[in-house]
Structure 1
Amino acid sequence: MTSISPDVTPGKHMAAEIAEQPAVLSGLYANRAEIAQLAEAIRRHRPRFALLAARGSSDHAALYAKYLVEVLLGLPAGLVSPSTITLYEAEPDLRDVLLIAVSQSGGSPDLLAVTETARARGALTVAVSNTADSPLANAAQYAVPIGAGTETAVAATKTYSATLLALYLLIDAVREGTGEHAAALGELAEQALTECTGPVEEAVQRYRFADRMVACARGYSYASACESALKLAETSYLHARAYSGADLLHGPVAAVDPETAVLAITSAGRGGAAMHEVLDTVRQRGADVLAVGSAATHAPAAQRIPLPECAEEVAPVLEVLPAQRLALGLALARGFDPDQPRGLNKVTRTR
């Protein structure tokens, strides 16, 4: 167990930054005009394919953006494997490609190398970062600062939700949308954080002794499942894995039993509707299901954390909030300080 200094309040930074998110989201939406100008430049280039490069929590934001690009823009999209460039020195032909590099710090050497190589090989490069003057932002042709402010906790919270919103506003503007589905997210985030307090506390007591948890979702919400599993693993050291609900049924469900806790992200829309078969299956195997989302009330689950309903394409911005609170609460209940997870630093530099 990580020792905690008596003069340190465990989790105070993570708790404070979770609470800042409604204001961060409202501020980012208010400044969407700058993002819309960048979207116009992307439209002029008429990309035929999109690639997304990221690591860690940002990789989950990139996964969300992949769904947005494919569904809202009708363009094929893929996630970059940075090692093809940093380890194997590949130089792919990236003409007519939009490369979006996502990094909260903007300082990861592998993402910098991917962006520089992509630009040199003909791609239109965009950096989405919380650090306006980062090496990544300077390497890309265009930069989208998410403006979340300094994040002290090692576990990303406000930078993650702000990155989701920035990516949505960018991609929505590329399709010449107005951002209307995101207009109320700041207020809805405040409502979600207020209303989830009791249910999260109940979930903390229910799962504080859990050894393993499976997070699952479909569609846009798959990114929320991935981020939830990461938060649980890095703060409370749970053995947490994330699966698409469809992939879970293709094999890993065999490992689900009465000792397995399942965190199911289920919001109103096609992705949430597709989760019904998944939840029926894991419940039949005896799993203890915690449902989170705007459709949680109607999900077959042992416990539920309902969220305000919004358009499905922006639901991940809200879905992650109770998951962050759950990770914080479980870490504290298990005697850990989520502000100082063992073996982790705020900026991870990989190649």
Structure 2
Amino acid sequence: MDVKDFYYDLPKELIAQDPLEDRASSRLMLLDKKTGEVGHTVFRNIIDYLNPGDCLVINDTKVIPARLIGAKSDTKAKIEVLLLTRKANDCWETLVKPGKKCKVGTEIIFGDGLLRGTVVDILEEGNRLIQFHYEGIFEEILDKLGEMPLPPYITHQLKDKNRYQTVYAEHEGSAAAPTAGLHFTKELLREIRDKGVKIVHITLHVGLGTFRPVKVDEVEDHKMHSEFYIVTEEAAREVNETKKNGGRVICVGTTSCRTLESAATDDGILQAKSGWTNIFIYPGYRFKILDCLITNFHLPESTLIMLVSALAGRENILHAYQEAVKERYRFFSFGDAMFIR
């Protein structure tokens, strides 16, 4: 399968640079995965398309302000560090720019010495392992010095860090937000719960894969980066009961989808488990748990547009994306949403 099969043309001005004032006022495209039929509404009306007995699965990961700007201790050259995965003893796997300047032994100073880091290893993919030194509590220092790691296509400064968090973000550990969840408000979630829809929390810490483009020609040759997930006993029980009773399992975002599909047995039972997943979902994949998906509009030739194509069909997705461009929808992280049902 050719990666170019997932290309579409997107005018740059449709890439949303700022979040909307009211989260739930974004637009919502409705896509029938069987017929390809497209409809248009506003996100807060998502409640009209959820039924009592359905189950809404949300990813409660919390983004850490993982982007640090520092300087080499010797030359004072500017270094940008993106924290990816926490290892033991204040050691982190990181993405460093410019990487060439950061050989093993390089010391980087952040915030006038409030935080110091030493490159202790260079990993296979070029990521740096950095050992951090500080006094006090790391999270508090990070909150003071760090910035939200916005995707490279967002060039505007984010005024409020909380706008790159879901309202239900709880467990710290992500290098990027599960952006489909950004459309929900606490009020909307309460109304959905009052309608008789179960809301189930799972956790997947979004990592490097979000920033990595597909660089191969054949889809099957792409290797996904591993991300850590948790499915609790309660979450597994709620999802399995929903399936058993004939309700739909509706995932909020591709991260929730990938978590459920990673923890499912071949016969469609969700297991309570935690671990690392590098599941890659593309056309031909048979979904074990998920019935419907709430998602944003994704980059051309990305693993995420491949995932939604696996669910709704490539032609249906590309047609819906053409319609979104024509209707001037807002794209990507701070953009509008789609409900694939």
Q: Please identify which structure carries the higher strand content.
A: 2
Same fold (TM over 0.5): no
TM score, norm. by length of structure 1 = 0.29
Q: Please identify which structure carries the higher helix content.
A: 1
TM score, norm. by length of structure 2 = 0.29
Structure with higher Rg: it is 2
